[in-house]
């Protein structure tokens, strides 16, 4: 079973200070750390589990800048066989739709039974590239998948809907699945595997190596801005002992203890 996993390297912003850069359309990246997008780590693990069951080949694919090679190397260390980086420096700020079109052009040249993507990239948060890609490739898809039970021809999948309800589907391969966090337990790469992966080659594809159709842009970012305050929070100040005392006081005042 041959599997393609689409991976994005993203800034880790959940706990970091995020500031807008001088263009007003992007963020200052120099003080942020970057890593594999969270749901992509689960997609990769699912690919490795499928490979352990059916054998075959895992290709990891990313449209990214040169430092994306570090992320792809981690994927190689975790069990991917080939890694391809499409050079983002050859394209001018592709939007999500263009990204899907570029990924499609490369995927067209590779054999696969299943494509796995993350269900959302934590930086731009579109949740659209996987399903778009499936449509461009004219293959079936399922989004928000939390269980995969495949044989060579078809796969049963569970999609997670709202409030914990699950939708069970039966899908013909080749197909594309967008993977939700929690589907498995992503492994860590061992030191030996990381050392071995450091020596592996990462295929670099520039614009000249890809047969591209005319790229269509769907959207352009006009500006980034700090979300307006919708609810005025009262921040309790002081040492932990002072703030905890104030907070306990509020809880008591409200009659909750």
Partner 1 sequence: MTELFVLIEHRKGEIRDISFELLTCAKKIAEKENLNVTALLLGSKTDQIIDKIKNYAHKIYLFDDPVFENFNSEIYQKNLSDIIKKESPLLTLIGHTAFGMDLCPALATELNIPFSTDCLNLTFEDKKLKVTRQMFDGKLNTHEILRENPSYIITIRAGSFPAVEGNFNAEIVKLSPKETTEPEYRKFVEYIEAAIGDVDITKSDVVIGIGRGIREQENLEMIEELAASIGGVVGCSRPIVDADWLPKDRQVGSSGKIVKPKLYIAIGISGAFQHVMGMKNSDTIIAINKDPNAPIFNEADYGIVDDLMKVVPILKEKILEMK
Ligand X SMILES: Nc1ncnc2c1ncn2[C@@H]1O[C@H](COP(=O)(O)O)[C@@H](O)[C@H]1O
Q: Which is nearer to ligand X, 55 or 211 (CB)?
A: 211
Torsion angle in degrees (nearest 10) through CA of 141, 144, 146, 149: 0
Query: Minimal CA–CA distance to 142: which of 134, 151, 153?
Result: 134
User: Shortest approach of partner 1 to residue 249 CB, angstroms?
Assistant: 7
Q: Which is nearer to partner 1, 9 or 85 (CB)?
A: 9
Q: Which is nearer to partner 1, 55 or 163 (CB)?
A: 163
Report 142-171 residues binding partner 1 (CB under 8 A). Answer: 142-144, 156, 158-171
Q: Does 145 participate in binding ligand FAD (rule CB under 6 A)?
A: no
Contact in structure between 118 and 8 (CB atoms under 8 Å): yes
Supply the angle between the helices 68-78 and 38-54 in degrees, to the nearest 10: 30
Q: Does 144 participate in binding ligand FAD (rule CB under 6 A)?
A: yes
Q: Which is nearer to partner 1, 85 or 160 (CB)?
A: 160
Alpha-carbon separation of residue 39 from 145, 148, 177 (angstroms): 11, 15, 12
- CA atoms 107, 113, 119, 121: torsion sign: negative
Q: Does 191 participate in binding ligand FAD (rule CB under 6 A)?
A: no
Q: Does 120 participate in binding ligand FAD (rule CB under 6 A)?
A: yes
Query: Minimal CA–CA distance to 1: which of 188, 117, 154, 201?
Result: 154
d(CA 151, CA 130): 22
Q: Does 14 participate in binding ligand FAD (rule CB under 6 A)?
A: yes
Binding residue for ligand FAD, selected from 50, 61, 76, 119, defined by CB under 6 A: 119
Chosen from ligand X, ligand FAD, partner 1, none, partner binding at 56 (C-beta under 5 to 8 Å by type): none
Chosen from partner 1, ligand FAD, ligand X, none, partner binding at 6 (C-beta under 5 to 8 Å by type): ligand X
Binding residues (CB under 6 A) for ligand FAD: these are 14-15, 119-120, 144
């Amino acid at each position: 079973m041959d599997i393609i996993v689409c991976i994005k390297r993203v800034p880790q912003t959940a706990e970091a200070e995020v500031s807008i850069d001088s263009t007003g359309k992007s963020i200052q990246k120099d003080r942020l750390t970057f890593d594999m997008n969270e749901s992509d780590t689960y997609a990769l693990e699912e690919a490795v589990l499928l490979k352990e069951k059916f054998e075959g080949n895992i290709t990891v694919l990313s449209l990214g800048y040169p430092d994306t090679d570090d992320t792809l190397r981690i994927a190689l260390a975790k069990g991917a066989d080939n890694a391809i980086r499409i050079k983002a420096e050859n394209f001018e700020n592709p939007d999500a739709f263009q990204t899907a079109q570029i990924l499609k052009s490369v995927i067209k040249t590779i054999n696969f039974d299943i494509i796995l993507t993350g269900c959302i990239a934590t930086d731009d948060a579109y949740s659209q590239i996987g399903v778009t890609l499936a449509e461009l490739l004219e293959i079936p898809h399922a989004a928000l998948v939390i269980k995969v039970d495949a044989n060579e021809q078809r796969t049963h999948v569970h999609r997670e809907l709202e409030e914990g309800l699950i939708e069970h589907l039966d899908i013909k391969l080749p197909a594309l699945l967008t993977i939700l966090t929690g589907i498995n337990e992503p492994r860590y790469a061992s030191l030996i595997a990381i050392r071995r992966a450091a020596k592996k080659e990462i295929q670099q594809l520039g614009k000249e190596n890809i047969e591209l159709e005319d790229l269509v842009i769907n959207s352009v970012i006009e500006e980034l801005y700090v979300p307006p305050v919708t609810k005025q929070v009262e921040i309790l100040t002081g040492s932990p002992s002072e703030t905890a005392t104030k907070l306990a006081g509020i809880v008591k005042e409200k009659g909750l203890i």
